[in-house]
Amino acid sequence: MLYDLRRADLPIKWLVTCLLATLGISYVFGALMVSLYAGFTPERVAATYGGRAMPMPMPPETTMVMEHAMSMAEFARPEVHEVDTNLLIQDTHVHVPMYGVIAAALSLVVAGLSLSQGWAVALITLLFSAPWLDFAGMWLTKFVSGRFAPVTLIGGWAMGLGYVAVAALAIQQMWFRTRGVDR
């Protein structure tokens, strides 16, 4: 195969390494942002995308008022970051194209690795399907059931797994694997 990162010139290897490092930094900060706003447990993801448990299953026939005492500590309690439908539409519109670009960039790295076609196709599938799962989980959590929150978590972890697998293989093959490679 003409495109083989093991045999690539030094500038190409350096380019791929810098790309992986940059994506790695963005993934680390992406994970930190998730921990700030949505969390890593199904309960927090369900609360973020599904909203609070509805106090009433349907709007009342006539407007009703409920009152309860509040303490100042309750005002200080951290709020659940809720993503409503409009924000989810905006998030999907903004993030999915970017995830596609990232998956495409990582897939180009995969194409230059020494892997069987089956493994390469599997990795590329993982890279693209992870963000699909991530957002499918958000939409299902919002409109079907909070029980779909784990789908978002699986999608998020799968994105991380895909990146780590590609980065580890690429670094190992470009910089550490010398046996059987014509230079």
Partner 1 sequence: MNLLLRGAAIAAVLHITPVVVLVKRPDAVQTLLPGADSYVAREVHLSDPDAHRLHGLVDWSPDDGVLTFYRGKAGGTDVGALTFARVDTPHGPIEVAVGFTPQGAVRGVVVTKATVEMKPWVLEAVGAGLVERYRGLKPGDVPAGAAALAEHTGKLAVYVAGEVDKGVARALAAYGAFYNHVRA
Which residues bind to partner 1, rule: CB under 8 A?
Answer: 33, 36-37, 51-52, 54-56, 59-72, 75-76, 79, 81, 84-87, 90-91, 93-95, 97-98, 100-101, 104
> Which C-beta is closer to partner 1: that of 50 or that of 173?
50
How is residue 122 written in tokens? 């599997």
Instruction: Provide, rounded to whole angstroms, the least separation between the CB of residue 69 and partner 1.
Output: 6
Instruction: Provide, rounded to whole angstroms, the least separation between the CB of residue 181 and partner 1.
Output: 28
168/106 Cα distance (integer angstroms): 12
> Which C-beta is closer to partner 1: that of 2 or that of 66?
66
Tokens 């970017």 found at: 98
Instruction: Provide, rounded to whole angstroms, the least separation between the CB of residue 68 and partner 1.
Output: 5
Instruction: Provide, rounded to whole angstroms, the least separation between the CB of residue 161 and partner 1.
Output: 23
71/160 Cα distance (integer angstroms): 41
Q: Do residues 83 and 91 lie in contact, with contact meaning Cβ atoms separated by under 8 Å?
A: yes
> Which C-beta is closer to partner 1: that of 103 or that of 133?
103
> Phi/psi zone of residue 88: left (φ > 0), alpha (ψ -120 to 50 degrees), beta?
alpha
Helices 85-111, 149-171: inter-axial angle, 10-degree rounding:
20
How is residue 60 written in tokens? 């009342």
> Which C-beta is closer to partner 1: that of 43 or that of 84?
84
Instruction: Provide, rounded to whole angstroms, the least separation between the CB of residue 103 and partner 1.
Output: 11
Q: Do residues 141 and 148 lie in contact, with contact meaning Cβ atoms separated by under 8 Å?
A: yes
> Which C-beta is closer to partner 1: that of 90 or that of 125?
90
